[in-house]
Amino acid sequence: MTNKIFPCLWFDGNAKEATDYYCAIFKNSKILSENPMVVVFELNDTKFMALNGGPQYKFSPANSYVITCNTQEEIDHYWEKLGDGGKYNQCGWLDDKFGVSWQIVPSILGELMGNPEKSQKVIEAFMQMTKFDIQKLINA
């Protein structure tokens, strides 16, 4: 038996609005099914469920979604689109207008931090950033 595991996002009555928003941002996305209570959708081949659960629970940075980006253009796209109407935080983190936390991270970050000669300078550089700047990290 294969168990499929995917996140369920709890919204306060605006699950469809949120899924439409996310599907407009991610090129490879689609709504798989919907009813008044639940919308099942995919973003970049990752399945999600959006639940109209009510006001009892709110999102927090304790649960965030990481988007690894190969180019500065990708970082800029997700940063601007997901951050629109939300809140920008330090080190590539943002909360979108629904309160969902995202980390917009350059795919090269792990490699740069794994280099013993550069890691401290890279950490110092990104601690000064909100949105990651790939070139500044490479030059650190």
Domains in the chain, please, with CATH? Answer: 1-56 (3.10.180.10), 59-140 (3.10.180.10)
Reported confidence tier of residue 90, pLDDT bands at 50, 70, 90: very high
Backbone angles phi, psi at 19, to 5 degrees: -65, -40
Q: How does pLDDT run across 41-84, given as a tens digit for each residue?
A: 999 999 999 999 999 999 999 999 999 999 999 999 999 999 99
Q: Are 134 and 105 in contact (CB under 8 A)?
A: no
Q: What is the pTM of this model?
A: 0.92
Q: Are 117 and 76 in contact (CB under 8 A)?
A: no
Q: Is the pLDDT of residue 1 over 90?
A: no
Q: Is the pLDDT of residue 5 over 80?
A: yes
Residues 6+ apart with CB under 8 A from 132: 75, 91, 92, 104, 105, 106, 109, 126
**Looking at residue 2, what is its pLDDT?**
67
